[in-house]
Amino acid sequence: MIQVCCVKSCGLCQMWLSQQSDVMSFWGRLANLLSKGVARAVMCYHLHVCDRAIRRQTPREDAPGPPSAQELLGGLSGMLINTHSALDYPRLQPETFVNVGGLQIPREPGQLPDRLEEWVAGAPEPGGVVLMTLGSTLHLAEVPQGTVDSLMEAFSRIADSRFVVKYEAALDNVPENVLVLPFVPQRDVLAHPKTRYLYWSLHVVLNALFCFRVLDHKAFNNN
């Protein structure tokens, strides 16, 4: 198997943990290097945990040992990467490492459920609808209750907009202009002409780009 290496110079490609831009000063590059060192240490620990889990599946001492997680990663001949060039900074990567972010998005939106369609279509102008979802990695129900209450209070103050919030648990004291659902068809809501803004995760942004939605967080924050 052909081994490939994705070149990531600390002077060219910023780590997302470092919060640096694509133009870095000396101190910015130093912060980027430290962030990369921390990320590498965490990855080494993660690979060690993976190796222990793999060894538990092969208890026979006379059997040939499985390859380590590092060896498996080093033997990759290609990768489908869950990102898109429109969302990421330019970075060097082999030709067999392909960005496929948004591959799961259907070409045509589906029909919204009746309750959701009525809520979205009845949103006042010009505020329209704001979609808030943190995706599938972080559930809003795991956020501290005080933070959720602060969000609900902030939403209640923006009376000229309606909010669709993905929340996986029961929620008390929901404002009149907020609709809480355990599941939200993101693609379909974003394709609706009444949708104006969103509080996003990666997949939501990919859906929004596909729908040609303008994401103006500054305008939303100024309200």
- Residue-wise pLDDT for 79-100, tens only, equals 988 887 777 777 778 889 888 8
pLDDT band (50, 70, 90) for residue 11: low
Record the pTM.
Answer: 0.63
Does some domain include residue 129? yes
Do 72 and 145 lie in one domain? The reply is no
The residues that bridge with 81 in the sheet, in sequence order, are: 99
Do 165 and 212 lie in one domain? The reply is yes
* Percent of the chain at pLDDT exceeding 90: 15
Do 82 and 119 lie in one domain? The reply is no
Number of structural domains (the chain) is 2
Supply the CATH number for residue 176's domain: 3.40.50.2000
pLDDT tens-digit profile of 187-219?
888 888 888 776 655 666 676 666 655 444 434
Do 95 and 44 lie in one domain? The reply is yes
The stretch 146-163 carries a mean pLDDT of 91
The stretch 38-42 carries a mean pLDDT of 88
Residues 196 and 128 sit within 8 Å (Cβ to Cβ)? yes
CB atoms within 10 A of CB 84: 17
